[in-house]
Amino acid sequence: MSSPFADGSSPTSWFMPLAPMIWAGIFRLCGSFSDASLIALYGLDTLLAGTAACCWLWLIREILPHRSKGPLPMLAVLIASLAPEHLVTLTRPWYWGLQKLGVATMLICALKWHRSPDLKRSLAFGAATGSTLLVNSVPLLLFVGLVLRSFLRSLDRRRTALTALISTAVCIAMLLPWIVRNYSAHGAFVPLRLNSWVEIRQGNNPNGSIVQSLNSLHPNLKPYERDIYFEGGELAYAERAKNESMLYLFSHPGDALARTGLRAALFWFADLFHEGIYGDTSWSEKGLYQRVRDIAILITAIAPILLLLVSWAAGWLQSVREMCILTTPLLALPIPYYISHIHPVYFASVKPILLMLVVIGVGEALRKYSSS
């Protein structure tokens, strides 16, 4: 792959390869930046989102066997598919659809492996993880979380650990061509992406970003940062970002921790009063339409979380089997954004799962009260 910047053509490891390869193939077949390519990209994204929804439907029916023929699974998937964040990603084709399908496939394979950690299921789990990591590196934390939760809940931990190692080996084998390519391009061991520390530095510097903005330290946003990138090369630039991030983290631990907490809060709840979330207009300067819109966004962010907490506290989710399979993404996937920077579109990686859990909880509550 060539440089992620328009004015350069040096090899890059800033993106995982699968999405750029698919885009390159579409451009080759349909023409670069043509109407046909645009239609193909939107069509592919819609197809991926629909396939992911089918995976969610299967998963919910598996953990709710007594309602597998009822409307609850379909209702949960429908509401999740209509989430604003989910719909926004359909208008911004990139790797979102591939990641959603990859995460859904990982959860299905993890569920089967969790129930019976044999060789066949461990191979499938590793293959699903490896293919998803070729889209984006963030789901690596999901894989770790799923393995740890299954290990802690297993009655045969030795078998679980052995098959988890098999899954890990399969995942590494799928990443090996990418690792070899990175070593050939950069002369260094790069297992996933080179820009991880660049993203972390955006949130961890004297003027660190909560949300990526025009003031963030990034070669796409700062011309002098792009000059440094081209002058020293991608590997040197990534190392520089790492050193600057580590220096700030160790010298300002309190500020770094406070920013991390703020990002976590904004990731889940949004914030009407933070100018970087919905543009550069402060709350006092917004008109009636903007205020109503922002309040609606805030309600749609807070209401599902409150309903999920109520469902959990009331015990409505106790009858759901393998609940850990669905809750792990909520814990694991947002972690990289807490320590780097956030954006409303990143919430799309967990919002469908959150909504499905809410619908399941409310549905289980109605079932219990109607049968009592």
For the stretch 235-272, pLDDT in tens is 999 999 999 999 999 999 999 999 999 899 888 876 55
Average pLDDT for the chain = 86
Residue 4 in domain: no
Amino acid 272: pLDDT: 52
Q: What mean pLDDT is predicted for residues 348-362?
A: 87
50 vs 213, more confident: 50
Range of the domain at 52: 18-371
Res. 8: pLDDT tops 90: no
- For residue 6, being part of any structural domain is answered with no
- Within a domain: residue 168? yes
pLDDT at 335 exceeding the cut of 90: yes
Distance separating alpha carbons of residues 18 and 107, to the nearest angstrom: 20
pLDDT digits (tens, 9 = 90+) for 127-162: 999 999 999 999 999 999 999 998 988 888 899 999
141 part of a folded domain: yes
Please identify which residue in the block is written with the tokens 């579109």. 345
Q: Is-contact 362 318, C-beta < 8 A?
A: no
Of 139, 199, 97, the C-alpha closest to 329 is 139
Q: Is residue 2 part of a domain?
A: no
**Predicted pLDDT at 69:** 62
Q: Is 40 contained in some domain?
A: yes
The pLDDT of residue 172: 97
Please report the pLDDT score of residue 52 as a whole number: 92
- Cα angle 99, 245, 258; round to 5: 80
In a domain, 1, yes or no: no
Instruction: Tell me the pLDDT band of 99, cut-offs 50, 70 and 90.
Output: very high
Say whether pLDDT at 174 is over 90.
yes
- pLDDT at 275 > cutoff 50: no
The total of structural domains in the chain comes to 1
In a domain, 116, yes or no: yes
Distance CA 203, CA 284 (A): 26
DSSP string, 142-189: HHHHHHHHHHHH-S-HHHHHHHHHHHHHHHHHHHHHHHHHHHHHHSS-
